[in-house]
Amino acid sequence: MLRTHTCGQLRKSDVGSPVTLCGWVENKRDHGGAVFIDLRDRYGLTQVVVGPPEANSELIDAAGHVPNESVILIRGKVADRLEGKVNEKLATGEIEVRSEHFEILSTAQTPPFTPGQSDLPGEDLRLKYRFLDLRRKEMQDALIRRSEIIKCMRDYFAEHDFIDVETPILGRSTPEGARDYLVPSRVHPGNFYALPQSPQLYKQILMVAGFDRYVQVAKCFRDEDLRADRQPEFTQLDLEMSFIDADDIMSLIDGLVATTAKQVLGKEISLPLPRMTYEEAMRRFGSDAPDLRFGLEIVDVTSVAKKTEFRVFRGTADAGNFVRGIRVPGAATLYSRRQIDELTAYVQQDFGAKGLAWFRVEDDQTLWSPIAKNFDPEHLAEIRELLGGEPGDLLMFLADTWEVTCKGLAGLRKRLATEMKLYSPDDLNCSWVTEFPMFERDEESGRYVAMHHPFTAPLAEDLPHLKESPEKCRAQAYDLVINGSEAGGGTIRIHDSEVQSQVFELLGMDEETAKDRFGFLLDALRFGAPPHGGIALGVDRWVMLFAGLENIREVIAFPKTQKATDLMTQAPGEVDAAQLNELQLRTVSVKT
């Protein structure tokens, strides 16, 4: 090893010891006759002194001219810092290394930004020079936390007798859900592999093969539109179990959540984690991934709306739609008319709502609003009572379809909670949402599509609905929610080939297509398949949430931009004609 210690290792007990340190020059200070260098590596920072009586003038001159971010080697002795110069903010703040030998291992050019600067450059610049960005302590801490979480997960499942099995990256394209990333085959011209959107089919095959407890930290790929918490390639902790039910899976993951929170964050999580059905989540919070760190629950006032003379409420209710609202405690004096107008524009533009009705609860518990004159006092009192309004509260309502009221009020409650600081960034709230609808209608084709995936088993009591009324089928599905984000999703799988064929048919897949795409799975199910199920946990999202961050790119070493490009390597890029010829491919321009 070139070094004897790291830059975060030395303490007062090491005073007098000869040491060799290597690292990056964070900054330097020339005090005339002595140069002070802050030497950095991922373990910490140590102050190095190059100057009398230990150093000669050439050494001092070299140290004074070394550019920041250069890599150097220092050999010398550990000494106490001078009185009054101790830096209590540093673990190494009581000592310094007085150099006897100074060596430049790599001279750095002037960087476009430095890891230690207080004002961060734009994300595009950070991603282009990711090797500089990754030197920042915040980035290194995030990736260290990622490593800790993955190790904690692996250890937990090893203790529960799971077998780590790697599944293929090059597989068969089975177009369901997001678009596949396709890889052309040189050996089989005109044919393509697909990168896995998940190891779903392989892990079901493993259950049929008798590996009753499978786990894998798996790389997955989806060609879909991106956002702050989504990437085209992502990592998930994938597992599958045989001879279990949904409660077994959720209880197992409860233990993982508690173990990870304790070991990584030092937080105690009460178990079992709370559970609610999909229907309850949408009714109370308007979202299938509700943030439970704060209240602002949704209340349905459609029954009162039907009795009022206010045309917006009455017309919506008479048309079979809904009037729903939230109570915002103490917000009446916090939000001006202009700010409420901004909230109105927000729900209109982002969620397609027609408008936002609101009332202020006065000291005498009456409701005031520009629209209050359109209501009888008894109806206003009934609305206030349904929402539990108290003086100083703000009551806000949407009158629209179920979908719009859900999305609009879910977005509104999140925005208000953020603006009013109704939760601490350090809070960690975990819960389950269960019993999702098994199918939903595709708006374009009008046909049924699987809400999770086509291998999800219906609840046993809903199995009779498959033939006559599939929309009534509830799935044996469960999502783990952390702080309002889906952190994992799983289902109990169909292990009966006849039921699986029936589901394929419902999804508009004829027997020939099903056999072509999933014949190997259907064959496996006919040769003795155990009841089985599993879950996939989003590792990137877990790390983001556990680290209290809002951008998933902050916990991935080399992420893609929102347009799925790598600014550092300039991927994706063109390939030369010889490569295309070898694959028997050519590119064409398509007008859009």
Residues in contact with 43: Cβ distance below 8 Å, sequence separation at least 6, in sequence order: 6, 7, 8, 9
pLDDT per position as a tens digit, 33-57: 899 999 999 999 999 999 875 557 7
For residues 194-212, give the mean pLDDT: 95
Check if the beta carbon of residue 192 is closer than 8 Å to that of residue 185.
yes
Q: Tell me if 538 is assigned to a ligand binding site.
A: yes
Dist CA 238 CA 213 (whole Å): 11
In terms of DSSP H, where are the helices of 223-262? 246-260
Confirm whether residue 230 is marked as ligand binding.
Answer: no
Read off the pLDDT band of 358 (50, 70, 90).
very high
Cα-Cα-Cα-Cα dihedral sign, residues 401, 406, 410, 416: positive
Q: What are the tokens at 312?
A: 């917006």
pLDDT in tens, 130-161: 999 999 999 999 999 999 999 999 999 999 99
pLDDT for position 158:
97
pLDDT at 516 over 90: no
Neighbours of 315 (CB within 10 A): 12
Ligand-binding site membership of 5 (annotated):
no
- Tell me whether residue 341 is annotated as binding: no
Between 539 and 510, the higher pLDDT residue? 539
Own/partner pairs for 176-179, CB < 8 Å, 24+ apart? 176/450, 176/453, 176/454, 177/222, 177/453, 178/222, 178/223, 178/224, 179/222, 179/223, 179/224
Give the percent of the chain with pLDDT over 90: 81
| Cα angle value 330/336/339 (rounded, 5°) | 105
Domains along the sequence of the chain with CATH: 12-106 (2.40.50.140), 140-245+259-266+431-555 (3.30.930.10), 294-422 (3.30.1360.30)
Task: Identify the H or E element spanning 98.
Answer: strand 95-106
539 among annotated binding-site residues: yes
* Cα→Cα distances 140→134, 135, 372, Å: 6, 7, 55
Work out the mean pLDDT of the chain and round it to a whole number: 93
CB of 535 within 8 A of CB of 256? no
Question: Measured on CA atoms in the order 377, 378, 382, 385, is the torsion positive or negative?
Answer: positive
Q: Does 222 show up as a binding residue in the annotation?
A: yes
Measured CA to CA, the distance from residue 534 to residue 253 in angstroms comes to 10
Q: Is 511 annotated as a binding residue?
A: no
Mean pLDDT in residue range 347-360? 96
Q: What is the pLDDT confidence band of residue 510, given thresholds at 50, 70 and 90?
A: confident
- 247 a known binding residue? no
Position 89 scores a pLDDT of 92
Task: Name the packing angle between helices 402-419 and 278-285 (round to 10°).
Answer: 60
Upstream peptide bond of 272 is cis (omega within 30 degrees of 0): yes
Q: Is 223 annotated as a binding residue?
A: yes
Instruction: Determine if residue 541 is labeled as part of a ligand binding site.
Output: yes
Question: Does the pLDDT at position 268 exceed 90?
Answer: yes
- E strand map for 182-315: 182-184, 192-194, 213-221, 233-242, 275-277, 298-300
Whether residue 176 is annotated as binding a ligand: the answer is yes
Annotated ligand binding at 584? The verdict is no
Q: Burial, 534: exposed, middle or buried (Cβ in 10 Å; 0-12, 13-18, 19+)?
A: buried
The answer, yes or no, to whether residue 129 has pLDDT greater than 60, is: yes
d(CA 392, CA 327): 11
